[in-house]
Structure formats: structure tokens, C-alpha cells
Amino acid sequence: MRTPSSFRAAKRKGEKLATLTAYDSSFAQAAARAGCDSVLVGDSLGMVIQGQRGTTGVTVDDVAYHVRCVAAGAPDLHVMADLPFGSFEAGPAAAFKSAARLVAAGAHMVKVEGGAALARTVGRLVERGVPVCGHVGLLPQSANATGFRVQGKDRESRARILADAKAISDAGAALLVLEMIPAELAAEITAEVAASTIGIGAGASCDGQILVLQDLLGLYPNPPRFAKNFLRGKGDIDAALAAYVADVRAGRFPDAAHTPA
Ligand code: KIV
């Protein structure tokens, strides 16, 4: 099973990390069969499982339930879990309390959305033995303020996202999701931070990629432009997941058609 130090070693060796979201036992097993490096029990479950318009209604209880399902199905697979909106912003103590519930449910790492303002919280979690994945760029938990659009297009927001990425990596995050930012900015961040970057709509230079499972299988209506339906033309779900992992590892995904302009 992957660990923070093996993620760092993969970055040093230039090995691409293939990850995707999973919310239940059957798909966790399928991700393990496909050779995924990790699965994320994302708060995207609010949209793809619960049918909400966004992620802000998801609770720690919701995420913990799905972490238990995933961990039971694939006990040897690395599992990340999202700290949902409202469960960590009050500070390190609140974040640790929420993280502890997700770790007790079976998560090996927690993911937090946000930048430099969260660095102290990330540092405290790491000190207390909770590995962290950061998340900068488009933050779905802030979509009420930003909408779901590409971030970092002007000089000011580009500099802010770069500074946020460095702050979270320097605080000890082992992984860092880069969501919907220009590919050149993602490449610059990837070159400058110690954390392994995991792109979603951020181009092919990231150290790894993540997709929402339902987007990968073509199940979600109105998928984002960067998502690719890997099930199309394949015989079954195992073949689709294997094609995704192979394309990420070979640097074939995302191609230009699946990278925001
Ligand atoms: O919740 C989620 O699925 C995520 C991914 C989009 C990275 O945060």
C-alpha cells in the first residue's frame, strides 16, 4: 500500500500516480484490481451519490460511512478522505477531531481544500500522524463564491495559487490536488513543491491524475470538459479503469482535448 514516503519516492523517480474517487466497496475493489495508487472518498459524493448541486451539504458522517464501505472492500488500497465543508476551518483542533473520525473509519490520509491560511492546520495534522493531501485551484467547497470555472487565469490569482501550493506543501502535505488551473501553472507548481501534485483539469505535467469515477464511466450528466469517458468502446468497467491507469502512467491522459484552455 502507498504511504507518504512512497508518494514522494514516486515523484523523485518520475512515476505518475493514477488515482480516482470511490464511494463503495465494489468500485474500491475494481480500483484495486486496476492498480490505482489511491482512491479518494471525495465530498463529490454530495453530487454523484446524493444528487445535490454541490459539495457543501456533505457531512463528516457521510464521508465516514463511505470510507468504511471503501476500506472494507479493498483493505490493501490507500484511501484518502475529504474533510467536508465546515469540518476543519475552525482550526487545528476541529480539523483533528474530524480527521480522527475519518481515520477511525479506515482513511489513511485526509484532504483539505484551501491555501496558506490552512498551513498551520495541515502542519498540526501531519505532526499528529495524519497524512494530508492539500487541494488548491478550483475549490468546490467555495463554488458559491467562484462558480465551477478555471482558476489562476490572471497574474494575481496565479501568484496566489502558487503561494498557496507552496505553503501547503511546506506545511507537510504529501499530495496536492490541483483542480482546474492552466497547465503551465500546474507545471510550475509541480516543479516547485515537494508534494506530489495530482491534477484534475490541470494538464499532463502533474505528478499524477485523479478523476471522479462517474465522469470516468460517463455516468454523470454534463461532465466537465477535462473529464474523459474511459468506458466508451471498452467491454466492461475493469477494462475502462485499466485503460485510465495505463494512460495516466504513460502520460497519455490528459491530452490537449482534456486540458482546459
Ligand atoms: O471530492 C472530490 O471528488 C474531489 C476531486 C474532484 C479531487 O475533491
Q: Whose CA is nearest to atom 8 of ligand 1?
A: 42
CA 146 vs CA 108, 122, 170: distances in Å: 30, 23, 26
User: What are the pocket residues of ligand 1 if the criterion is a CB atom closer than 6 Å to any ligand atom?
Assistant: 21, 40, 42-44, 82, 177, 179, 200, 210, 212
Domain 4-253 fold: TIM Barrel (3.20.20)
Output the pLDDT for position 223.
87
Stretch (H or E) spanning 112: strand 109-113
Residue 175 backbone phi and psi in degrees, to 5: -125, 160
Atom of ligand 1 nearest to the CA of 111: 8
Percent of the chain residues past pLDDT 70, beyond the cut: 100
Residue 163 contacts residue 139 (beta carbons within 8 Å): no
SS3 state of residue 38: strand
Query: How confident is the model over 86-96, as pLDDT tens digits?
Result: 999 999 999 99
Given a cut of 90, is residue 235 above it in pLDDT?
A: no
Neighbours of 101 (CB within 10 A): 19
Given a cut of 90, is residue 62 above it in pLDDT?
A: yes
Mean pLDDT over residues 40-51, rounded? 97
The response to whether 164 counts as a known ligand-binding position is no
Give dist(CA 82, CA 124) in Å, integer: 17
Mean pLDDT of the chain: 97
User: What DSSP designation does 137 have?
Assistant: E
Mean pLDDT over residues 114-123, rounded? 98
Residue 165 contacts residue 136 (beta carbons within 8 Å): yes
Pocket-testing residue among 210, 213, 220, ligand 1, by greatest number of atoms within 8 A of Cβ: 210
Residue 52 contacts residue 93 (beta carbons within 8 Å): no
The candidate with the shortest Cα–Cα distance to 62, out of 44, 79, 39, 74, is 44
Query: How confident is the model over 13-45, as pLDDT tens digits?
Result: 999 999 999 999 999 999 999 999 999 999 999
**Domain spans of the chain?**
4-253
Residue 238 contacts residue 225 (beta carbons within 8 Å): no
pLDDT band with cut points at 50, 70 and 90 for residue 205: very high
Query: Is 179 considered catalytic here?
Result: yes
Q: For 52, how many CA atoms within 13 A lie in the half-sphere containing its CB?
A: 13
The response to whether 111 counts as a known ligand-binding position is yes
Mean pLDDT over residues 222-240, rounded? 93
Q: For 256, how many CA atoms within 13 A lie in the half-sphere containing its CB?
A: 0
Mean pLDDT over residues 184-213, rounded? 97
Q: How far is the CA of 170 from the centre of ligand 1 (A)?
A: 22
The candidate with the shortest Cα–Cα distance to 177, out of 215, 155, 207, is 207
Output the pLDDT for position 222.
83
Residue 197 contacts residue 151 (beta carbons within 8 Å): no
Cell numbers that stand for 26 in this block? 465494489
SS3 state of residue 196: strand
Mean pLDDT over residues 208-236, rounded? 94
- The one catalytic residue in 15, 127, 179, 184 is 179
Query: How confident is the model over 122-177, as pLDDT tens digits?
Result: 999 999 999 999 999 999 999 999 999 999 999 999 999 999 999 999 999 999 99
For residues 164, 169, 170 and 173, what is the CA-based torsion angle, rounded to 10 degrees?
A: 130
Residue 27 contacts residue 213 (beta carbons within 8 Å): yes
Residue 1 contacts residue 222 (beta carbons within 8 Å): no
pTM: 0.97
CA 189 vs CA 166, 203, 248: distances in Å: 8, 12, 19
Neighbours of 255 (CB within 10 A): 12
Given a cut of 80, is residue 261 above it in pLDDT?
A: no
Mean pLDDT over residues 104-119, rounded? 98
